[in-house]
Amino acid sequence: MHGKELEFINEAFDTNWVAPLGKNVDGFEEDMQNYLGEDMCAAALSSGTDAIHLSFIISGIKRDDVVFGSDLTFAATVNPISYIGAKSVFIDSDYESWNMDPKALDKAFEKYPGAKAVITANLYGTPARLDEIARICREHNAVFIEDAAESLGASYNGEKTGRFGDMGILSFNGNKIITTSGGGMLVSKNEADVKKARFLATQAREPARHYEHKEIGYNYRMSNIVAGIGRGQMLHLDEHVRLKTQIRKRYEEAFSDIEEITLNPYYENSEPNFWLTCMMIDEKSPVKPLDIMEALDKENIETRPIWKPMHLQPVYAGRDFIQVKDGISVGEDIFNRGLCLPSDIKNTEEDMEKIISIIRRFFR
């Protein structure tokens, strides 16, 4: 938090707009539209997960439809597929961005030609092959949902993430590049879809004086208090990306002479927001991610494992998983050999030196 957030909250208190609508909600949506491009519309919601849920409903996904989802991601990307009773099929990653591999997606459409939608995450703020994935979706008449929850501020081919799908998903959860404590947005160039999201998120109340309902609604709208935090945070989004980029550069520099360490890669035509810097250890190295995590933990420094792939999750046992080559999947390999490094923008140079020296000790 920087300070301006509180001013927007105070304004909501002073005007007594303490509700899931008001000037801050409108203002936050406008700020995001301006940021992503004037051709975009945004609906502020209570979480990114809600935004994903609504995107599937708006896309007309029904029970038993097949939906393809990233395998290597946070569970929130794909859980809403199950909320509507659709069938999730998980798609393996590539080594170039750790995101959904377009070749595996092609293969999935061969097996399930009638699949209705694809949801792709931009992992750790790194854009996926978004143009290619969008093209494959168009070819198969499938809806493309871009889960940009981790990648606000990143771009691909000079275009901001969140703009590539039929609908884009943003999150302002406590850990994201900007936060409102909790919150999310559904964004799209299609104004009708965004209006529909606002409608479904406010209990699908028809515009009649009495309480008229023709559809099942949800209580998913963002509160005007929370949106005030968002307006304040928007003023610092570019700064957050700049600081995250500095952290990434610091790690790059620090490990440049250690062949066993590679950092989470990205496509040349993309600019990640570097939400998290992650490392991967060479398969020939005896060092395991857990060794490093434990050594850092002893110094009270928190690290996180890579997201555990969805096809390995007990809750998704029995779901289909599509990979390009047989053997260990790319996602599982990254999970086994990878590690998320401390990437907080409040890290001082002293913090960074300490983290780096502990990690370097393993590779002497």
Ligand X SMILES: *Cc1c(COP(=O)(O)O)cnc(C)c1O
275 binds ligand X (CB under 6 A): no
Residue spans of alpha helices (H) in 216-318: 224-234, 237-255, 289-298
Which residues from 75-94 bind ligand X, rule CB under 6 A?
Answer: 76-77
Total residues binding ligand X (CB under 6 A)? 14
Q: Kindly report the three-state secondary structure assignment for every residue of 174-237.
A: CCCCCCCCCCEEEEECCHHHHHHHHHHHECCCCCCCCCCCCCCCCECECCHHHHHHHHHHHCCH
Min separation Cβ 353 and ligand X, Å: 29
342 binds ligand X (CB under 6 A): no
Cα–Cα dist 101/66, whole Å: 18
Q: What is the DSSP string of 78-132?
A: THHHHHTTPEEEEE-B-TTTSSB-HHHHHHHHHH-TT--EEEEE-GGG----HHH
Among 20, 48, 153, 338, binds ligand X (CB under 6 A): 48
Sheet holding 155-156, edge to edge: 159-160, 155-156, 270-271
Cα–Cα dist 152/271, whole Å: 11
Among 47, 59, 97, 224, binds ligand X (CB under 6 A): 47
Contact pattern from residue 102 through residue 121 relative to ligand X, giving x for each residue in contact according to CB under 6 A and a dash for the rest: -------------------x
Question: Which of the ranges 19-27, 73-81, 235-243, 247-255 carries the binding residues for ligand X, by CB under 6 A?
Answer: 73-81
184 within 8 A of 171, measured Cβ to Cβ? yes
168 binds ligand X (CB under 6 A): no
152 binds ligand X (CB under 6 A): no
74 binds ligand X (CB under 6 A): yes
Among 101, 147, 166, 332, binds ligand X (CB under 6 A): 147
Which residues from 181-240 bind ligand X, rule CB under 6 A?
Answer: 184
71 binds ligand X (CB under 6 A): no
Question: Which of the ranges 144-152, 154-162, 292-300, 331-339 carries the binding residues for ligand X, by CB under 6 A?
Answer: 144-152
Q: How far is CA 204 from the centre of its chain?
A: 27
Cα–Cα dist 9/228, whole Å: 5
| Site for ligand X, rule CB under 6 A | 47-49, 73-74, 76-77, 121, 147, 149-150, 171, 173, 184
